[in-house]
Amino acid sequence: MTALELLVLIVPDLGLRSALVGRLSLHGESLVTVPEIPGDAALDRLATTPATLIVDARSVGTTLSAMRRDPRWGGIIVLADRAAKTPPGKRFSIVERADAINRVSALLDGWRTPNLTVA
């Protein structure tokens, strides 16, 4: 697989971030890690097309609903203590941190393959 858009990772946990970077890099993804949600100017420098945000729920705070409306994000994956169901076809998902390494790649594949449904 080749990367279709930039992945922006905001994952404070060093071990989880390193594991995600390793796994996603092996899958040919283009990614960048940042310490916090980038402002408009910083995001413009990072990606010219909609990017996919992979963010730890602890880093999001109260800005999640605003991020979901922001056209800069072509998809959002939130890492949390517990997974939550999301409507099919939406490029938004909440996955369990404990299973993030496996689920993030599967979600990205599912979002990019129209006939593949990822629960």
User: Is the confidence at residue 119, as pLDDT, over 60?
Assistant: no
Residue-wise DSSP of 29-91 = -EEEE-SSPPPHHHHHHH-SS-EEEEEEHHHHTT-HHHHHH-TTEEEEEEEESS-B---TT-S
CA dihedral 94, 96, 101, 105 (to 10 degrees): -30
Instruction: Identify the pLDDT of residue 2.
Output: 44
**29: Cβ contacts below 8 Å, ≥ 6 apart:** 3, 7, 108
User: Is the confidence at residue 87, as pLDDT, over 80?
Assistant: no
Rounded Cα distance between 5 and 13, Å, is 23
Q: Look at 74 and 38; give whichever has higher pLDDT.
A: 74
Residue of 65, 63, 54 whose CA lies nearest to 93: 54
Give percent of the chain with pLDDT exceeding 90: 39
**64: Cβ contacts below 8 Å, ≥ 6 apart:** 76, 78
| Confidence category of residue 46, pLDDT binned at 50, 70, 90 | low
User: Is the confidence at residue 15, as pLDDT, over 80?
Assistant: yes
User: Is the confidence at residue 24, as pLDDT, over 70?
Assistant: yes
Quote the tokens at residue 16: 């989880």
Instruction: Identify the pLDDT of residue 1.
Output: 39
- Please give the CATH topology (third level) of the domain spanning 6-112: Rossmann fold (3.40.50)
From 22-31, 66-75, 110-119, the region with the lowest mean pLDDT: 110-119
DSSP state, residue 118: -
Stretch 30-46: mean pLDDT? 77
pTM (two decimals)? 0.84
Instruction: Identify the pLDDT of residue 88.
Output: 64
